[in-house]
Structure 1
């Protein structure tokens, strides 16, 4: 564990040092190490999940998938080294309150997914210090389109693409799924050959509604949404995945901690999904911190749940 702490500390230090080297604002306040330090006070038994990277998994890092002016957005790809057929792909979206975090936060989950035959893709996107809503959605939908465009190169089945996100990333993963075909959430300045439609969603503790009896979103959401609820009610409503659920929405897996505020809108969405016959699963881990997905003892069971769900929905999809 000491070596893990040292590595995480050095990584955080490098990120803080490199902040001045960026030509766009960077918030490094959210990190795996910082979450571990915070949560181990209440959960002293937790350890950071670090699955082994084996030769069976091929990794390609820092691939440019989108340019916005001089800004290059990057993604990392983890995939089976010797896949015999096209593989489903999972676009992984990190959390951090729409203002912090980076694609490396998904490394552990990406390794596990690639080990189970999936092409796991972790993408950076523009955060609130750099660009307000809906910029992040435009970026991530562009990432889906990039995956389809490069499907042959990475052996991807373009008809089996999922989004998976944690916390703020879970909100984004859900919004992307529920807005398949919605032109507002596409960057109209760029003509695309492929759609940004996805076929399954995994929401890990991401809110489904910003203004809701169960929600506790405030200043952090307001920074991303360009104002408070009182100032921008239409934006707060439009950014909520619950607003856009419809009969053709993809299947969902909700993976939740024991903290109710991160389930906001979930039960209302499930009622609508049941009414329209949309497949869904829910897995709640009792007595867990919000950032449980980073840590043992929950990591392996969480990944087993995710892989089982993806195997099921993609096996059913022809």
Structure 2
């Protein structure tokens, strides 16, 4: 077979794959900007932006293959155009990253002071807000000590446990108490284990606690269980390398709601800092102004959690809203939200941030323009790399 024949054969093979590459790449890239209409599409809407470096590579390959087959007719030109559009869309989080990072850096300096970075410069943390190689290989971590399934209590026969993650070297450590999310209905202390292991490797004792779930157990049962866990932590501090004078609460979604609610009124543990990812803060407004689209039916979730509508139970909705507990003297609070979140809209996080500031509290609000709810499910994703960079620094400063 001569060289010309081989080239023609290669073009035919490439032409066969062009439609699949181009249309497949466009379908995946479209979820970088499209909201999830239903729960079934939520993983795509959440994950697409987080794996944008992979999508950039896929669509670049599709464009190159289409370019190679241009001589075969108009179809290849159309697929080349499709791949170029998909490439631009999939690159949008990376294009926006520098500006988002700059705003986050300003927010941190405004709240913690211009010199905060110098004060924590000796702490080992991630070197940059985004490390491209980590987007492909994962965020590296080190070995830790893990103790799981520790029995805390058994209210109504429901076993409440906790997991503890610690550095290899024994000793009293600044401590993170983790509260998992899951619409107050699902989850366990092993949720977000990548984060727990990573922070333990950085020198923290991380304690992931448990609580009973709705709809069987409605609010305020969850706060009661969290207080029980706090008491257990206080009683077993030396056993698990806990520094009771340096404790932060960290939670995501429903867990972030419980973390802020507990942290704003804790009388058991002296909470030094709170980190809340994309959490509900004003349940009345959340019920009366649901997102659109609303892939998880947020009103149904709130009715399950509280036992009725905001019109039927107005006092309970206020009691369950961290926004209602804002007053001077609260722990420094870091609020992280995605601007594309259609489960907990970022405007509510900003409202809490503004009220904290009005009451002379230290607060940081970081909004990630391309991120959806639960963006940190992709631990090495673009959004979580940005969030983790500032969470590390916020905790290093507030727990030093």
- 1:13 is matched with which residue? none
Larger helix percent: 2
Aligned counterpart in structure 2 of residue 229 of structure 1, from 289, 293, 310: 310
For 1:176-215, what aligned pairs fall within 5 Å after superposition? Answer: 176-181=262-267, 195-212=268-285, 215=289
Larger strand percent: 1
Asked if structure 1 preserves the Cα contact closer than 8 Å seen for 2:337 and 2:349, the reply is no
SS of the residue 1:131 aligns to: coil
Asked if structure 1 preserves the Cα contact closer than 8 Å seen for 2:264 and 2:326, the reply is yes
The answer to whether structure 1 residue 137 and structure 2 residue 223 are counterparts is yes
Residue 38 of structure 1, CA deviation: 5.7
Residue 197 of structure 1, CA deviation: 4.1
Aligned counterpart in structure 2 of residue 80 of structure 1, from 150, 153, 167: 167
Q: List runs of 5+ in structure 1 lacking aligned partners.
A: 1-30, 182-194
Assess, with a 3 A threshold, how the Cα gap between structure 1 residues 131 and 175 changes in structure 2: closer, same or farther: same
Q: Distance in 2 between matches of 1:108 and 1:49?
A: 14
Assess, with a 3 A threshold, how the Cα gap between structure 1 residues 100 and 117 changes in structure 2: closer, same or farther: same
Asked if structure 2 preserves the Cα contact closer than 8 Å seen for 1:201 and 1:253, the reply is yes
The answer to whether structure 1 residue 271 and structure 2 residue 354 are counterparts is yes
Residue 101 of structure 1, CA deviation: 2.4
Q: Distance in 1 between matches of 2:158 and 2:198?
A: 30
Asked if structure 1 preserves the Cα contact closer than 8 Å seen for 2:146 and 2:163, the reply is yes
Assess, with a 3 A threshold, how the Cα gap between structure 1 residues 49 and 227 changes in structure 2: closer, same or farther: farther
- 1:281 is matched with which residue? 364
The answer to whether structure 1 residue 159 and structure 2 residue 242 are counterparts is no
Q: List runs of 5+ in structure 2 lacking aligned partners.
A: 1-38, 55-134, 291-297
Aligned counterpart in structure 1 of residue 393 of structure 2, from 277, 298, 308: 308
Q: How many residues align?
A: 269
TM-score (norm 1): 0.77
TM-score (norm 2): 0.62
Aligned CA-pair RMSD: 2.6
Residue 254 of structure 1, CA deviation: 0.5
Residue 121 of structure 1, CA deviation: 1.3
SS of the residue 1:199 aligns to: strand
SS of the residue 2:234 aligns to: helix
Assess, with a 3 A threshold, how the Cα gap between structure 1 residues 43 and 118 changes in structure 2: closer, same or farther: closer
SS of the residue 1:256 aligns to: strand
SS of the residue 1:254 aligns to: strand
Residue 40 of structure 1, CA deviation: 4.0
Asked if structure 2 preserves the Cα contact closer than 8 Å seen for 1:165 and 1:203, the reply is yes
Assess, with a 3 A threshold, how the Cα gap between structure 1 residues 35 and 103 changes in structure 2: closer, same or farther: farther
SS of the residue 1:104 aligns to: coil
- 1:39 is matched with which residue? 46
Residue 297 of structure 1, CA deviation: 2.4
Aligned counterpart in structure 2 of residue 68 of structure 1, from 138, 144, 155: 155
Asked if structure 1 preserves the Cα contact closer than 8 Å seen for 2:211 and 2:222, the reply is yes
Residue 116 of structure 1, CA deviation: 1.2
